[in-house]
C-alpha cells in the first residue's frame, strides 16, 4: 500500500497491532520506541519488544530519549508519514508531532474510553473489579486519551484473569480491529465521535508501593489487587517478618472453609492444603495458589504448605 505509516509503541502490548499492519501490507516507514532500559539482576539492556519485531522485519527504528528532541523531529519528518499509529508508546505526543502526518495520529487504547484514561487502564480495570473492558481506537489530540473515538470493541473479563493475560488478550483484540479501522479512516468512511466528558475519568500510573496486601479488605478487593498488579509491580504480604510474594490467588468459594474462617482475625491462615493456603480477609477468604519467599523460587502452595501452619498470621508478626 502507498500510505506511509509510522508506528510508535514500546512494550509487548504494542507488538500484535504492529504485526497486524505488517501482515495487512501497509508500508511501515519507521518505528519509534522508548529507549532500551537496563533490567534484571545483571542490568542487561535487551531490545524492547516492538523494536525486536521491527528489527526482524528490517524496519528502521529510532528511540529518542526526549520526544521534543529536534533530531527526533527531523527524523520523523524524513519518513514523510501520512499516518502515525501508536499503541502503548508511553509518552504524550506534543503538538509538533501530532501535526506531521496528513491523516493524523491514531491510538490503540486498552479501555472503553472515556473510562480509564491514562497509562495503566488494564491494571486499574482489574483492581476495580470491572466485569467488562475493551479496546478503543481513537484520533489523537493534545490531551491524555481525550481524542474522538473511531471504533471500540468490548471484552468480558474472566474472574481470575490477571493483568498480564488481559494485556495480551486486549493486544490481540486491538490488532484484529486495527487494519479495518485504518482502511476506513483512510477511505474517509469513519466519522470520529467525541468522548462523553461526563463519563470520563483518568487513572494514575502504577507504583511499587501499591503491592502490599491489607488483609482487612474484602476477599474480592484483595483478589482484584493481586491479579491487577501481576506481573508488575506484584503483590506481597509479610509472614514471620519475611516478605512473601503472591503470584496467583482466587476467592475461596468453599463454604466449609469460609465457615472455618468465621471469627478469626484478618490475615490468619485458616487452612493449609494441597489445593491452596486459605487466608482470612476482612470479609471472606482468599486462597493463595502460588507464592514466593524472599530467598526462594515461585512455588505452588501444595509444594510449600508444610512451611506454614493454621493460625499463623500474615501481614505482620506471628500471633
Q: Which of 179, 144, 164 is nearest to 18 (CA)?
A: 179
**What's the pLDDT at 295?**
83
Which residue in 236, 209, 227, 222 sits closest to 282, CA to CA? 222
Mean pLDDT of the chain: 95
- For the chain, how are helix, strand and coil distributed in percent, rounded to 5? 30, 30, 45
- Is residue 108 within 8 A of residue 135, CB to CB? The reply is yes
pLDDT of 230 strictly over 90: yes
Q: Cβ distance 117 to 144 under 8 Å? A: yes
The upper half-sphere exposure of residue 238, i.e. CA atoms within 13 Å in the direction of its Cβ, equals: 10
Dihedral pair phi/psi, residue 71, rounded to 5°: -65, -40
The reported pTM is 0.94
Cis peptide leading into 114, omega within 30 of 0?
Answer: yes
Q: Which three cell numbers stand for residue 17?
A: 497491532
Contact criterion met (CB below 8 Å) for 15 and 89: no
Q: Which pLDDT value is given to residue 317? A: 46
Among 10-14, 151-155, 239-243, the least confident range: 239-243
Cβ atoms of residues 21 and 180 within 8 Å: no
Average pLDDT over residues 269-290: 95
For residue 86, give the DSSP letter.
E
pLDDT at 37: 84
pLDDT at res. 318: 43
Tally: H helices and E strands in the chain:
8, 15
Q: How far is CA 12 from the centre of its chain?
A: 10
Q: Greater confidence, 306 or 156?
A: 156
**Distance, CA of 297 to CA of 284 (rounded, Å):** 28
Confidence of residue 1 (pLDDT cuts 50, 70, 90): low
Burial class (CB within 10 angstroms; exposed 0-12, middle 13-18, buried 19+) of 168: middle
pLDDT, tens digit, 9 for 90 and up, residues 25-77: 999 999 999 999 887 666 788 999 999 999 999 999 999 999 999 999 999 99
% of residues, the chain, pLDDT over 70 = 97
Mind listing the pLDDT tens digit for each residue in 165-186? 999 999 999 999 999 999 999 9
Scanning the chain, the segments in alpha helix (DSSP H) are 15-23, 49-56, 70-79, 95-98, 121-127, 163-187, 219-228, 255-261
* Domains, in order of start, for the chain: 4-199 (3.40.50.170), 208-307 (3.10.25.10)
Q: Please identify which residue in the block is written with the cell numbers 532500551.
A: 36
For 275, phi then psi, to 5°, come to: -85, -45
CA 115/CA 88 separation, integer angstroms:
17
Q: What is the largest CA-CA distance in the chain?
A: 70
Q: For the residues 83-99, what does the mean pLDDT come to?
A: 96
Which residues have C-beta within 8 Å of that of residue 168, sequence separation ≥ 6?
12, 13
Instruction: Tell me what pLDDT residue 40 has.
Output: 66
Over the stretch 116-156, which tens digit does the pLDDT of each residue have? 999 999 999 999 999 999 999 999 999 999 999 999 999 99
DSSP letter, residue 94: P
Mean pLDDT of 237-242: 92
Q: Which residues are CB-neighbours of 74 under 8 A, at least 6 positions away? A: none
- Measure CA 288 to chain center: 22
Segment 311-317 mean pLDDT:
83
Best CA proximity match to 11, nearest among 29, 41, 33: 33
How much is the pLDDT for 67? 93
Amino acid at each position: 500500500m502507498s500510505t506511509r505509516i509510522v508506528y510508535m509503541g514500546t512494550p509487548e502490548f504494542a507488538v500484535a497491532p504492529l504485526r497486524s499492519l505488517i501482515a495487512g501490507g501497509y508500508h511501515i516507514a519507521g518505528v519509534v520506541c522508548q529507549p532500551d532500559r537496563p533490567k534484571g539482576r545483571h542490568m542487561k539492556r535487551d531490545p524492547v519488544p516492538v523494536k525486536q519485531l521491527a528489527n526482524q522485519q528490517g524496519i528502521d527504528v529510532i528511540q529518542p530519549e526526549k520526544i521534543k528532541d529536534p533530531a527526533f523531529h527531523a527524523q520523523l519528518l524524513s519518513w514523510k508519514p501520512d499516518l502515525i499509529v501508536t499503541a502503548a508508546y508511553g509518552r504524550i505526543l506534543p503538538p509538533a508531532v501530532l501535526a506531521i502526518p496528513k491523516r493524523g495520529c491514531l491510538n490503540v487504547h486498552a479501555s472503553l474510553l472515556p473510562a480509564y484514561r491514562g497509562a495503566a487502564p488494564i491494571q486499574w480495570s482489574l483492581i476495580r473489579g470491572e466485569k467488562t473492558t475493551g479496546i478503543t481506537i481513537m484520533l489523537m489530540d493534545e490531551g491524555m486519551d481525550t481524542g474522538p473515538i473511531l471504533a471500540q470493541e468490548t471484552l468480558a473479563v474472566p474472574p481470575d484473569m490477571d493483568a498480564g493475560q488481559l494485556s495480551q488478550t486486549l493486544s490481540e483484540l486491538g490488532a484484529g480491529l486495527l487494519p479495518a479501522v485504518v482502511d476506513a479512516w483512510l477511505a474517509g468512511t469513519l466519522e470520529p465521535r467525541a468522548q462523553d466528558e461526563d463519563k470520563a475519568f483518568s487513572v494514575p500510573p502504577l507504583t511499587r508501593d501499591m503491592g502490599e496486601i491489607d488483609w482487612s479488605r474484602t476477599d474480592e478487593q484483595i483478589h482484584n489487587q493481586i491479579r491487577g498488579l501481576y506481573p508488575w509491580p506484584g503483590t506481597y504480604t509479610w509472614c514471620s517478618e519475611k516478605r512473601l510474594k503472591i503470584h496467583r490467588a482466587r476467592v475461596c468459594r468453599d463454604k466449609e472453609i469460609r465457615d472455618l474462617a468465621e471469627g478469626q482475625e484478618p490475615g490468619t491462615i485458616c487452612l493449609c492444603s494441597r489445593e491452596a493456603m486459605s487466608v482470612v480477609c476482612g470479609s471472606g477468604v482468599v486462597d493463595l495458589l502460588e507464592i514466593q519467599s524472599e530467598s526462594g523460587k515461585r512455588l505452588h502452595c501444595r509444594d510449600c504448605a508444610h512451611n506454614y501452619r493454621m493460625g499463623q498470621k500474615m501481614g505482620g508478626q506471628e500471633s
